[in-house]
Structure 1
Amino acid sequence: MEWCAVDAESREWLAQLNGHGNARTDAIRRLHELLVRVGRREVHRRGTRINGAELEDIVQQAASDATIAILRKLTAFRGDSRFTTWASRFVILEAASKIGRHHWRHPRPHLAHEDWEQIPERPGGEPSGQAEAADLWEAICHAVDTKLTDRQRRVFVGIVFEQIPADTLGSRLGMSRNALYKTVFDARRKIRAHLVDREYLPCG
């Protein structure tokens, strides 16, 4: 990559993060602090019901994971935007993924009819009680964690659980609306197959 085509601030970030010693350590610290600020804005923009120390923990984890990913992909930065703008996309995606994971791992104690409509098509009525609901949610969580690809997981959580508009999510992930819906369809099919295999749903 020709660094001369990159703005001065971005060149400085790249030079320090690709460097050695105290300068690199300080640049990584400043990058992490930047990502924490961006992460906080993102989670508050989403209006999630998570709050307090739990929300801050998600922000810190997202910033840390994004920092690691950025350091691994520095050569992928092409200068189409400022480095800080490019880096911010990493923490925005990480925060979205972690909030979504929290939502499917910690569902509300009582599941209303509209909540059940968001999971894979389920013939028959709702579960008879809260214990059965929790058991089914655990099976869904296991399927989402183990049966879906990373891309399917991000799309499924974004569309189904977080209800992010398709155009917004598609822009973030670089996917068309049709590709998003195809991904959700494939994810639902995998989850439903898992639930049928575990006898949570009937065959057919």
Structure 2
Amino acid sequence: MNSRDDVVSVRDPVSVEWIAALTGAAAERAQGEARLHEMLVRVALGELRRRRATAPWLAGVELDDVAHQAAADAMLAILRKLDSFRGESRFTTWAYKFVILEVSAKLGRHYWRVHPQVSLEAESWERLPDRIGVDPGEHAERADLVRAVRHAVDETLTAHQRRVFSAVVLDAVPLDAVVERYGTNRNAIYKALFDARRKIRAYLVAAGYLEREGRGGR
């Protein structure tokens, strides 16, 4: 392993200062950790407030509590992985990623504590054509179109695609909560949603409910 001098030589002055503070003598390290925790709490609070639209139930003392939990867990992870920091980005940028991930995880777990069960309401199905970008005006009978979309969901999607599609599109469950529930990541959820929408539209085109894109189709 390279010496610490070799590693810090490629870092910017701000990063060098952070690493020195977090690896110095006990008193210096305690001060550095206090500064780091304060910074992480600030970032966590900012991220939680930015996401209030997807977590309106989180406010006040509860929001502060989630922010402090995310900051504490992020700090432990940062200190464990401090030797892996190589200066490709600023230390603060590197550290921010840890707390943002913790915020996402905390929001996901918190959502399911507040909403232990999610049911598919009839009005959710009625709004479904709008949510998947299908203009009900493309077909005369909205109710008929809703039935066709529902049949497409039941018949053409895999079980996983159906679960993800129902949670995100029908029930408007926040993405972080879906990621937490299925133990996956955002990219996998995006892929499942993309494939589900593509299959549903293909079914509606084949059944004559929609025209092929570009009229000519493929």
Which TM bucket (shorter chain)? 0.5 to 0.7
Q: 2:74 aligns with which of 60, 66, 83?
A: 66
Residue in 2 that maps onto 1:75? 83
Change (3 A) 1:7 1:98: same
Partner of 2:25: 20
Note if contact 2:41-2:67 (Cα within 8 Å) is conserved in structure 1.
Answer: yes
Structure 2 residue 115 is matched with structure 1 residue 107: yes
Q: Residue 52 of structure 1 aligns to which amino acid in structure 2?
A: G
In the superposition, relative to structure 1, how do residues 177 and 107 fare at CA in structure 2: closer, same or farther (>3 Å)? closer
Per the alignment, residue 12 of structure 2 pairs with 7
Amino acid in the other structure paired with 2:100: I
With over 3 angstroms needed to count, the CA separation of the structure-2 counterparts of 1:110 and 1:85, relative to structure 1, is closer
Given that 1:100 and 1:161 are in contact with CA atoms closer than 8 Å, whether structure 2 keeps it comes out as: no
Verify the 8 A CA contact 1:5 1:79 in the aligned structure 2: yes
Separation of aligned partners in 2, 1:34 and 1:87: 10
Aligned with 1:91 (options 87, 91, 99): 99
- Residue deviations 1:112-162, cap 9 Å, x none? 5249x9xxxxx8xxxxxxxxxxxxxxxxxxxxxxxxxxxxxxxxx999832
Match of 1:53 in 2: 61
Q: Which runs of 5+ in 2 are unaligned?
A: 129-153, 155-166, 180-184, 196-218
Structure 1 runs not aligned, ≥5 long:
118-122, 124-156, 170-174, 186-204
Question: In structure 1, what is the Cα distance between the partners aligned to 2:168 and 2:120?
Answer: 20
Structure 1 counterpart of 2:131: none
Q: How many residues align structurally?
A: 137
What one-letter code is carried by the residue in structure 2 that aligns with 1:46? R
Structure showing greater radius of gyration is: 2
Q: What is the identity, as a one-letter code, of the residue corresponding to 2:71?
A: A
* Aligned 8 A contact 2:70 2:99 in 1: yes
- Aligned with residue 163 of structure 1, among 175, 181, 184: 175
Question: Retained in 1: the 8 A contact 2:74–2:99?
Answer: yes
Amino acid at match of 2:90: R
1:35 to 34, 40, 44: 40
Q: Work out the CA distance in 1 between the residues paired with 2:87 and 2:28.
A: 22
Structure 2 Cα separation of the partners of residues 17 and 7 of structure 1: 16
The AA in structure 1 aligned to 2:79 is: L
Give yes or no for contact 1:96–1:158 (8 Å, CA) kept in 2: no
Matched residue SS, 1:100: helix
Give the % identical residues: 41
- The one-letter code sitting in structure 2 at the alignment partner of 1:162 is P
Q: Which amino acid aligns with 2:86?
A: R
Q: TM-score, normalised by structure 2?
A: 0.54
**What is the TM-score when the length of structure 1 is the normalising length?**
0.57
User: For 1:105, what is the secondary structure of its paired residue?
Assistant: helix
Residue type matched to 1:86 in 2? Answer: W
1:1-32 Cα offsets, whole Å, 9 max, x none, are 52100001101111111122110000000000
Q: Which amino acid aligns with 1:42?
A: E
1:5 partner SS: coil
Flag the 1:180–1:76 CA change in 2: closer, same or farther, 3 A: farther
Name the Cα RMSD after superposition: 3.5
CA deviation profile, 1:159-204 (whole Å, cap 9, x unmatched): 983236xxxx9xxxxx79468647xx9xxxxxxxxxxxxxxxxxxx
